[in-house]
Amino acid sequence: MKDGPVIASVAALMGDPARANMLTALMDGRALTVSELSEAAGVTLQTASGHLAKLDAAGLLTAEKQGRHRYFRLSGPDVAQVLEGLMGLAQRTGAVRVRTGPRDAAMRTARICYDHLAGERGVALLDGFICQGLVTDEEAPAVTSEGKRFFSGLGLEIDAMARARRPLCRRCLDWSERRSHLGGALGARLLDWVIDQKWARREKGRVITFSPTGGRAFDERFGLAG
C-alpha cells in the first residue's frame, strides 16, 4: 500500500495475541495496571511491559502514573471501534473459539464498547431511536428536533454535547449482531444515564447486566417494548 496512512505497522501491533488480549481488556474504558494486563494476556510482567511500551509508543495507549502504579488505557474511542470491527470480521470469517464460555451469551446481550452500550440491547436502542424519529438513519446519524426534546427530558444537553470535539452520534458496527449500535458522545452519556437509574450494572470485564425490572424499564422508556 503506497497511498494513505501506513496500516501495516498498526495491524502488526494489534495482531500479536498477547497485545490483542491487552487491548481487548481495555475496551471497557477502564485504565489497568501492568499486572492486570499481564494476567489478561497470559504473559509475564516483563513481557507485558515490553508489549505495553510498543503500544504506548505507537499511540494506541496512553499511560499515567498514580502512586506506585502505572495505568494504561486506550488512547481513544477510535481504537475501540477498530477492535470491535476486527471482532466482527473474526466472527464472520469463522476465527472463533471452538467452545463457547458461559459469559459469551451475556456479552452478546449487553456489553460495554469503550464507553457505550453494545450487544443486542445496544443495537435495539439505535434501531428504536431511528424508528421513532429521534435520530436519522444515516451513516453519521443526527439528532432530530424530536430527539432533542426527548433527550432533554432525560436531562441530556444535546447542544452542549454537539459542541464538544467528539462526534455526537456515531454508528459502531457490533461484532456479535453485525449491525450498528450507537457510539459517540450521546451513546456514552446514555449508558451512564441507564446505570445511574440502577437499571443495569457493570460487571467485571465488559458485561453489562440488566436487572429484570431494569430491563423492562429500559424497554418501556426507550420505546422498545412489545
Query: Do both 105 and 169 map to the same domain?
Result: yes
Contacts by 96-103, CB closer than 8 A, 24 or more apart: 103/205, 103/207
Closest CA to 191 of 32, 28, 60: 28
Cα angle: 4, vertex 9, 11; to 5 degrees: 95
Into how many domains does the chain fold? Answer: 2
- Can you read off the three cell numbers belonging to residue 193? 444515564
Query: Do both 168 and 97 map to the same domain?
Result: yes
Residue at 226 is within a domain: no
- Can you read off the three cell numbers belonging to residue 83? 477492535
Low-confidence ranges of the chain (pLDDT < 50): none
Cβ(45)–Cβ(35) under 8 Å? yes
- Tell me which residue range forms the domain holding 204: 79-221
Indicate the residue among 53, 75, 97 that finishes a domain. 75
Cβ(62)–Cβ(75) under 8 Å? yes
Gap between the Cα atoms of 179 and 172, Å rounded: 8
Cβ(48)–Cβ(61) under 8 Å? no
Cβ atoms within 10 A of the Cβ of 203, count? 16
Gap between the Cα atoms of 40 and 105, Å rounded: 20
Gap between the Cα atoms of 130 and 92, Å rounded: 26
Whole-number pLDDT of residue 102? 52
Query: Do both 59 and 94 map to the same domain?
Result: no
Cα angle: 221, vertex 115, 175; to 5 degrees: 90
Whole-number pLDDT of residue 101? 54
Indicate the residue among 21, 43, 75 that finishes a domain. 75
Query: Do both 92 and 104 map to the same domain?
Result: yes
CA 99 to chain CA mean position, Å: 24
Gap between the Cα atoms of 206 and 27, Å rounded: 7
Query: Do both 68 and 179 map to the same domain?
Result: no
Q: Is 100 helix (H, G, I), strand (E, B) or coil?
A: coil
Query: Do both 57 and 102 map to the same domain?
Result: no
Query: Do both 92 and 189 map to the same domain?
Result: yes
Query: Do both 112 and 172 map to the same domain?
Result: yes
Cβ(170)–Cβ(162) under 8 Å? no
Query: Do both 110 and 208 map to the same domain?
Result: yes
Q: What residues are paired with 181 via a beta bridge?
A: 172
Gap between the Cα atoms of 4 and 17, Å rounded: 26
Percentage of the chain exceeding pLDDT 90: 71
Whole-number pLDDT of residue 138? 92
Whole-number pLDDT of residue 93? 85
Residue at 2 is within a domain: no
